[in-house]
Each structure stands twice: as C-alpha cells, then as structure tokens.
Amino acid sequence: MWKKPLLLPCIFLAFWCLAWGWPLNAQAAKPPVPIYFFWTEYCPHCAKEKEFLGRLQRTDKNIRVVALEISTDQENLELLRKVGKALNVHVPGVPFTVIGRQYVVGWQDDQTSGRAIERALQEARDREVPDLVAKLQAAAAPAPPASMDKKPVPETLTLPFFGEIQLNHLSLGLLTIIIGLLDGFNPCAMWVLFFLINLLLGMGDRKKMWTLGGAFILASGAVYFLLMTAWLNILIFFGFIFWIRIIIGLVALFAGGYNLKEYWTDTSGTCTLS
C-alpha cells in the first residue's frame, strides 16, 4: 500500500526527464571545447605539450585537440599569423595554444603551462566564449578558380631525337642545356659557330684556341642560364597574351619580307650601316 502515493511523483519525474533530459547530462550535451595546438615536428617543447594534451583528452572527453603543424603546412602557418593578429599578440614561436580567445605561449611543465590551459578550458566552458580560430578558418577566402580561357603550361614536350620529355622531372639546369642544344641548330648560331671555327683554325696557338673557345662556350651557357632563370616566367606570362603573339608574328613577317627584299635587290653583298 505504501507504493501508491509514490506512483504519481514517479510518473511526473519520468515525463520531466523525457521532456527536458537529465540535469547531470547537461554538461555532456554541450559540444566539445576545441584546443588549437600549433606545433612543429622537431620542437621538444611541442612534444612535451603534445603528451600533456593526450593525457588531458583521455581524461576529459569534452575537449577536442586540433593539432596544426606549421613547418610543412603553409596554410597552418598563415592561420597562426592571422590568429596572432586577431589576438593582438606577437607569436615568437611554438608551441602556441589557443582556446577561445585565451592563448598560452610556449611550454614549461604541467604545473605552469598545463594549469594555464586548464584554466582557459574552464573559462571557455563557463562563459561559452566564441571559437576565434574556427571563425578565421571560415573567413579564409578560397583560391580563385583557374581561368578557362588560359591554356595550362604543358607538362610534356615532344622533341626530335629526344622523344617525349616530362618537364616536371627535369631540373632547371638540365632543361637549360636541352633548350640550348635545340636552339643551337639555327642559322644564326651555325654562322657564329663557323666563324668561331675559322677563327680558331687560323690561330695556330692551342692555348689561345682553348681560351677563346672556352670563353665562347661559357658565355653562351651563362646567357642561356640567365635567360631561363630571370626571364622564363616573364616569357610565359607574355606568351599567354593573345595580342602580343599577333604583334610578334607581324613583326617577324615584316622582318622576313624586308630581308628577302634586301637579298634580291642588293647584289653588292655588303651590310647596310645604320
């Protein structure tokens, strides 16, 4: 008979728990607090804090450690700079830990840096501070899509005698040598080479021959190297502009027509002084 007076309160309590949930589970229902841990691979202080955060995550299931390595990921490094600017703090190095708008610079031990992280966690839970790092990540502008009217730079190049060459597998020096060899088979270079050979054969002094020939080879190689290193990107950029290609083609046609005219009309075999 003593159970009947308790029936109504038990039913009310059951409906209240179903409708509102248990008060003890209110803390567990909250989303986990993110801990943003900026670190580098070869940092001993980062390794010690990483061990601490691992132990903390095993004991506290309501946190989420987000490790952001900055030595191999440029985006993480840029994010660290944005975080420092948003917090108005100079970031001297890593480890750098951010919880909400609280941060911990460096790592000493569990009693100092570890306590500071735990206090920042408690403040983030009590005050429900905004997630600064997540906002900065969401505000990062995506990379603009590639323009559809521009042709990509080819990854392969088909050459006589060499066949198909993968450009991304070649170093800049080897690519310079190949292009230099190919460019050497043109009338201008061949005439210069014949002139050099005739000049060397008429010297009769092997030391002077080696000096002059070596200077010519070194100068030609230096010119090609400078061309590849200093002007390659500029030439590629201008090569994508359609009207510049048209102008170059018209100039080449005009120069070729003028040279043909001079060849047929001037029979003296002399060069015009300008």
pLDDT at 146: 46
What is the pLDDT at residue 24?
Answer: 43
pLDDT number for residue 23: 46
Q: What residues have CB less than 8 Å from 162, skipping those under 6 apart?
A: 178
Give me the pLDDT at residue 148, please: 43
3-state secondary structure of 257: helix
Residue 38: per-residue pLDDT: 93
- Write out the residue range of the structural domain in which residue 81 sits: 29-139
One domain, residues 135 and 194 = no
Residue 207 lies in a domain: yes
* 267 is a domain residue: no
Domain final position from 139, 169, 192: 139
Strand order across the beta sheet in which 102-105 lies: 63-69, 33-39, 96-99, 102-105
135 and 165 in a single domain? The answer is: no
178 domain-assigned: yes
Nearest by Cα to 35 from 95, 108, 109, 78: 95
Domain assignment of residue 247, yes or no: yes
- The verdict on residue 253 lying in a domain is yes
Query: Cα–Cα distance between 206 and 214 in angstroms, integer?
Result: 12
Kindly state whether residues 230 and 180 are assigned to the same domain: yes
Pair (123, 166) in one structural domain: no
- C-alpha span between 187 and 190 (Å, rounded): 5
Task: Please give the Cα distance from 105 to 159 (Å, whole number).
Answer: 56
User: d(Cα 105, Cα 103) in Å, to the nearest integer?
Assistant: 7
pLDDT of residue 119: 92
Which pLDDT tens digits describe the chain residue by residue (274 residues)?
444 555 555 555 555 555 444 444 444 457 889 999 999 988 889 999 999 999 999 998 889 999 999 988 888 889 989 998 988 888 888 899 999 888 998 898 999 999 999 999 988 888 877 888 888 888 765 655 544 444 555 667 676 666 777 766 667 777 777 777 766 666 666 677 777 777 777 777 778 778 877 888 788 777 777 767 766 667 666 666 777 778 888 888 988 888 788 778 765 554 554 4
DSSP label at 203?
Answer: T
In a domain, 251, yes or no: yes
Predicted local distance difference test score (pLDDT) of residue 178? 73
Q: What is the CATH number of the domain that holds 41?
A: 3.40.30.10
d(CA 167, CA 172) in angstroms, rounded, equals 9
Domain contains 15: no
Report the alpha-carbon distance of residue 87 to residue 98 in Å, rounded. 10
Count of the separate structural domains present in the chain: 2
CA distance 25 to 82: 36
**Would residue 133 count as lying in a domain?**
yes
